[in-house]
Amino acid sequence: TARDANQLEVKTWMSVGQPNGEVYTLHYYDGYLYVGGSFTGITGLLTTPNIARYHVATGVWSALADGRPAAILTILNVGTDIYAATATIVYKWNGSAWSTVGTASAGSIITSATNGTDLYIGGTTTLVINTVTISSGVAKWDGAAWTTVGTTANSTVYALLWWNSVFYRGTNGSNPFRKYNGSAWVDVI
């Protein structure tokens, strides 16, 4: 808050639109707020399954083609591409169309992160994406292929973060907070 001419400025929450279901993830990129979850549209404004975007400057909602057929759990951008993942599929939005970059035939996708050039997803202890077994619970997509990151996680990965060139993960295991040293997940402290 700030004072100007004896007036008090107060910031408040305001409605910009109401998804008609649950919201699981938000991501801001290039002037747009991307909203993902389990919904069929923005009430009274737009019909779009599970993903939509809101242009912050104009206040206009828009669909991303035909949306996605299942609940969106995580959204982020890598370069100019938007990636959105359900529990079993990783999609890429190139600005005009969706494509599938990964399908999990075993396990579930829960979270994602980026180092600015690659996409990382986290999920259940063993994921199988496009026939690649991800035994660490963390997978990397370099734009061409999926690979596992580190050694066996022995727990579900719920959170991923790249910060100051260090890759962190949060799990439900005996060592819930670890970082990647280039070959294995190690204790943070």
pLDDT tens figures, 109-164: 999 999 999 999 999 877 788 888 887 889 999 999 999 898 766 788 999 999 99
Q: Residue 3: what pLDDT?
A: 55
Residue 2 confidence class, pLDDT cut points 50, 70, 90: low
Long-range contacts of 119-124 (CB under 8 A, 24+ apart): 119/76, 119/78, 119/83, 119/90, 120/149, 120/160, 120/162, 120/167, 121/74, 121/85, 121/90, 121/160, 122/157, 122/158, 122/159, 122/160, 122/169, 123/156, 123/157, 124/156, 124/157
Q: How far is CA 79 from CA 95, 165, 170, in A?
A: 12, 17, 25
**How many other CB atoms are there within 10 angstroms of residue 126's CB atom?**
15
The CA distance from 131 to 74, in Å, is: 22
The CA distance from 112 to 64, in Å, is: 20
Residue indicated by tokens 């019909």? 47
Q: Residue 165: what pLDDT?
A: 93
Q: What is the mean pLDDT of residues 11-37?
A: 93
Q: pLDDT (tens digit, 9 = 90+) per residue, 38-93? A: 999 999 999 999 999 999 999 999 999 999 999 999 999 999 999 999 999 999 99
Which pTM value belongs to this model?
A: 0.89
Helices and strands of the chain, counted as H and E runs: 0, 22
